[in-house]
Amino acid sequence: MDAARTVLAFLFLASPALAEGEAPDPWFASGRAAVERARERAPRAGTAKNAILFVGDGMGVSTITAARILEGQQRGESGEENQLSFEALPHLALAKTYTTNQQVSDSAGTMTAMASGVKTKAGVLGVSDRVQLGDHESVARSRVATILEQAEERGLSTGIVTNTTVTHATPAALYAHAPHRTWENDTLLSDAARKVGFPDIARQLVEFSHGDGIEVVLGGGRSNFLPANGRDPEEPERTGIRWDERDLTEEWRARFPRSAFVWNQEQFDALDPAKTDHLLGLFDPSHMEFEIDRSGDVGGEPSLSEMTAKAIEILSRNPRGFFLMVEGGRIDHGHHAGNALRALTETIELSNAVRTTMEKTRPDETLIVVTADHSHPFTMAGYPTRGNDILGKVIPNDPRGEPAKAPAKDQLGLPYTTLGYHNGPGYPGASDSQPEGAKHLPRKVQGVTAGRPDLRDIDTADPGYIQEAAIPLHYGTHGGEDVTIHAGGPGAALFDGVQEQHFIYHAMVEALGWNRAATKSE
Half-sphere exposure of 359 (CA within 13 A, CB side): 12
d(CA 169, CA 108): 5
17 compared with 364, residue with greater pLDDT: 364
pLDDT at 161: 99
* CA proximity to 365, closest of 471, 488, 489: 489
Q: Could you read off the pLDDT of 511-521 as tens digits, one per residue?
A: 999 985 443 32
- Which residue ranges does the chain devote to CATH 3.40.720.10? 10-19+24-376+478-520
What gap in Å lies between CA 150 and CA 56, rounded to an integer? 23
Of 105, 107, 223, 351, which one is the catalytic site residue? Answer: 107
Angle at 483 between CA 363 and CA 126, to 5 degrees: 85
Residue 442 pLDDT class (50, 70, 90 cuts): very low
Distances (CA, A) of 522 to 6, 20, 31, 251: 10, 20, 22, 38
Please state, in angstroms and rounded to a whole number, the distance separating the CA atoms of residues 285 and 222.
4
Residues contacting residue 231 through CB under 8 Å, at least 6 positions apart:
238, 239
The 10s digit of each residue's pLDDT in 104-160 is 999 999 999 999 999 999 999 999 999 999 999 999 999 999 999 999 999 999 999
Backbone angles phi, psi at 513, to 5 degrees: 80, 10
CA distance 88 to 235: 41
DSSP H or E segment with residue 54:
strand 50-56
- Give the pLDDT confidence score for residue 16 in this predicted structure: 57
pLDDT, tens digit (0-9, with 9 covering 90-100), for 452-511? 889 999 999 999 999 999 999 999 999 999 999 999 999 999 999 999 999 999 999 999
Predicted local distance difference test score (pLDDT) of residue 25: 85
Q: Is the pLDDT of residue 443 over 60?
A: no
User: Are residues 146 and 175 in contact, defined by beta-carbon separation less than 8 angstroms?
Assistant: yes
Q: Compute the distance between CA of residue 510 and CA of residue 499 in angstroms, rounded to an integer.
A: 15
Residue 431 appears among annotated catalytic residues: no
* 3-class secondary structure per residue, 169-200: HHHHCCCCCECCCCCCCHHHCCHHHHHCCCCC
Write the DSSP symbol of residue 50: E
Instruction: Give the residue among 280, 301, 279, 281 at the shortest CA–CA distance from 291.
Output: 301
- Across the range 194-210, mean pLDDT stands at 98
pLDDT per position as a tens digit, 324-338 = 999 999 999 999 999
Q: How far apart are the first and last CA of the chain?
A: 16
Among 14-28, 343-357, 438-452, the minimum mean pLDDT is found in 438-452
**E strand map for 97-168:** 157-165
Q: What is the mean pLDDT of the chain?
A: 91
- pLDDT for position 448: 42
What integer is the mean pLDDT of 394-421? 97
Closest-CA residue to 306 (of 275, 349, 368, 260):
349
Sign of CA dihedral 357, 358, 361, 365: positive
List phi, psi (to 5°) of 502.
Answer: -70, -10
> Residue 400: CB partners within 8 Å, gap ≥ 6?
none
CATH of 10-19+24-376+478-520, one of 3.40.50.1970, 3.40.720.10, 3.30.70.2190, 3.30.420.40: 3.40.720.10
Give the residue from 500, 470, 469 showing the smallest Cα distance to 483. Answer: 500
Whole-number percent of the chain with pLDDT over 70: 89
∠ CA 320-321-325, nearest 5°, is: 150
Longest dimension (CA), the chain: 74
CA–CA gap between residue 471 and residue 500 (Å, rounded): 30
Phi, then psi, of 375 in degrees rounded to 5: -110, -170
For residue 174, what pLDDT is reported? 98
CA dist., res. 469 & res. 477, Å (int): 11
User: pLDDT by residue (tens digit) across 19-48?
Assistant: 555 667 888 988 888 888 877 776 666 899
Strand bridging mode 91-96 / 366-371: unpaired
Residue 450 is predicted with a pLDDT of 60
Residue 306 φ/ψ, nearest 5 degrees: -65, -40
Burial of 329 (0-12, 13-18, 19+ CB in 10 A): buried
Closest CA to 314 of 287, 347, 350, 281: 281
Q: How far apart are CA 259 and CA 272, in angstroms?
A: 11
Rounded distance, CA 161 to CA 15, Å?
Answer: 26
- Burial degree of 458 (CB within 10 A; 0-12, 13-18, 19+): middle
